[in-house]
Every structure is written in structure tokens, then in C-alpha cells.
Structure 1
Amino acid sequence: MGLLDGTDIPLGTPCPDFDLPAMDGNRYRRDDFKDKDVLVVIFTCNHCPYAQAVEDRIIQLRREYEGKSVQLVGICSNDPNFVPEDSFENLQKRWREKNYGFPYLHDLEQDVAKAFGAVCTPEYFVYGPDRKLAYHGRMDDNWKEPHKVTRRELKEAIDLILAGKTVDFKQIPSMGCSIKWR
């Protein structure tokens, strides 16, 4: 497990397109979610302790925005030859067990992670209605102990975008395991 911070990607960067298979048997593209005002792309995986620590919080976040114009999409880009826990079958099993409730995509060729500039799991990219990057930071201020969270930056960013406002606070990079490249 290599610990990394997310990369510094300029706000306003357009959301890359993607076309990937999902755990539900479908394929998804960026424009499949064009009816949503906010698109939250989360690079995550099964094996990383940082991703595991926030998994239930991500699921809770999805529940909080049910019925609102927010779409969460998970993407796993790890090489399953390096990390068998992140094979399509194992991702699908966990997706079902945990009832994610949002599309979880498999980026086997790792082209999508490279297009986004993703380097770690979990890593969050939040786009507004214009599909320009509006937030690229951490989920909250305590990845390890949810009961000690005092600030939920990802939720704050989503709420600002939904209100038509700019995310105007300092964006602290997400911290996690390095993506396992081929």
C-alpha cells in the first residue's frame, strides 16, 4: 500500500468522457448522467484501507442526495493481476453486498484514470452542470474515525454547486492508496 495525496488538477478542467462496464451489467458514459446538475466521480477499490474506511460514508452520501440532481459514480482502475481483491468479480460481489446504489465501473485498461489524472483511492472529482471540475479534494476531515468528523468538505462542495455557487473554500487533497498501474 503506497500512501498518496490526490494530484493538483486545475478547477475548470472538463470532465473526461468514459465508456466502461459496470457491476450492474451495463456500460456507462459520462453523458448518461447529463440530466444531473452534479456528477461525483470517485476512484475507489476493495483492497485499500483508506477506501474501506470511507465506503459507508460514500453510501450514506448517496442516500442523502437521493431524489436530488446528484449522481455518484465509482470507478476502480487497479490492475487485478496486482491486486486480486479488485477483480471485476470481487468488485461486483462487494457492490452487491454493500448495496452501493450507484454505478460502479471497472477501468481495466486504466485509460479513464489517466484521463482524469487520478492517482489514489479514494479520490473525488466533482463536476457541475457544465461538467467542469468544481471540487477535487477530500471527503471530510477524518478519514479514519467517522465519529470524529467535524467538516464534510465533499458534501459542502456538492451543496454549493447545487445552489449555483462556486466552491470557494480551500480544497485539501484526498489521501489514499496509489492506483495499482499495469
Structure 2
Amino acid sequence: MTALIVGLGLLSFTAKDQDKNTNQKENVPVVKGYEVGDEAVDFKLKNIDGKMVSLSDFKSAKGFIVIFTCNHCPYAKKYEDRIIELDKKYKAQGYPVIAINPNDPNVQPEDGYQQMIERAKQKGFTFPYLVDDGQKIYPQYGATKTPHVFVLKKENGKNIVKYIGAIDNNYDNPNDVSEYYAQDAVNALIKGEPVKMTKTVAIGCTIKVKK
């Protein structure tokens, strides 16, 4: 009898686990995107102030911290204050944050343009918060999660990808972070040194693709 109960429990767990994995696979956008060392092509996207923004607008920038993020995702929310701090710390050193919302608002209404404006005002964003209208930019980069970071450096007039992945190694508690991936990458570039950790796994919500 005990063996039967255990067996049923295992079957139940396996079924739930399979459902979870299936749902995850269905929601993951299939994109290839950039690799470290590739040139990131410029874009022109609408900011929350209604103006169009391109990387080329930042004449004095030495590079960029491009972060695909959104309003609704719990992971993205956990990182909002840290993203603000990244911008405050590195914008003056030539590496501003450029945030891009890649989600389709028809799939996730919380990520609509008006909601972006309200969220940015509520949190006091100090950086552009752009909408990937038509979802054309995130596939170019290869972003699959929110948040997903791409650190770029200007080299000979081109924006070269130097780091791809997570912001750090603890989304839940900034006090427990032991690896500052994005910061370490930017610090190395500022010092003229090679980035040691060039790629990590982005942890977050899957990008919501138009159905």
C-alpha cells in the first residue's frame, strides 16, 4: 500500500514537472542574436517621453548597458533599483543604461506603453525606457528573458558586444550578490582591460511574443 502511494506521488510529481517544462518551452522565443564580439546594429525606438531614441544620439558615450526589461515580470521588478544604480554609476563614465521593453502588450497588458510611462515615473527611472514596437530589436540581440543585459563598447564607430547575460548572481536579494557580472564587465572596459566573464545565463521571465 505504501509503495502504491509513493508510486502515485512520483507520477503526480512527474506530470506536474512535465507540464511545467512544456509551458516553459512554448513561451520561449526562438532567437539567435548576437554573440560576444559582434557589432550591434543601431536602432530607433520610441521612448516614454514620446521621442525617438537611437544609440547614435549619445555622441559622448563610450558604450552602453542595454537591458531588455519590462513592467510585469517579478524578476525585472527585483532588478529595477539595481538598474537605476547602474545608470547613476556608469552614465557619467560613458556607459549609460538603455532599457528596452520587448513584450507584446496584447499578450501582457501590464507592459503597454502607458503602463511603461507610469512605471518609469513611479520608480524614478533615470534612463531611456524604449518600446520595441513590432518586436524587431530583441531578436537581433538574441534576448530571451527580462531582464537580459548586453554591454556594448564603441570601437571604430561600431557598437561591439562585450558581455551578454544576467546583471548579477542573485535576483532575489541584492545584499546576497557575490558576482556583479554587468558591473565587472563595464569596469573592465573603463580600465581598458578584457572582460573576464563575457557570457552568463540570463535569469528572468520569457519575452512575451505576439501570437
Global fold match (TM > 0.5): yes
2:170 matched to which residue of 1? Answer: 142
Q: CA deviation at 1:171?
A: 2.6
> Which deviates more from structure 2 when the two are superposed, residues 24-33 or residues 102-111?
24-33
The count of aligned residue pairs is 181
Matches within 5 A, 1:1-182: 2=24, 9-130=34-155, 131-169=159-197, 171-182=199-210
Q: CA deviation at 1:97?
A: 1.2
5+ unaligned residues in a row in structure 1: which ranges? none
Residues 79-101 of structure 1 show CA distances to partners (whole Å, capped at 9, x for unaligned) of 10111100000011001111110
Residue identity opposite 1:150 in structure 2: S
Q: Whose helix fraction is larger, Structure 1's or Structure 2's? A: 2
* Contact 2:48 2:116 (C-alpha < 8 Å) held by counterparts: yes
Residue identity over aligned pairs, in percent, reads: 34
1:40 aligns to what SS in structure 2? Answer: strand
5+ unaligned residues in a row in structure 2: which ranges? 1-22
CA distance in 1, matches of 2:177, 2:33: 24
CA distance in 1, matches of 2:64, 2:89: 15
TM-score, with length taken from structure 2: 0.80
Over alpha carbons, which structure has the higher Rg?
Answer: 2
Q: CA deviation at 1:163?
A: 1.3
User: Larger RCO: Structure 1 or Structure 2 (Cα < 8 Å, ≥ 6 residues apart)?
Assistant: 1
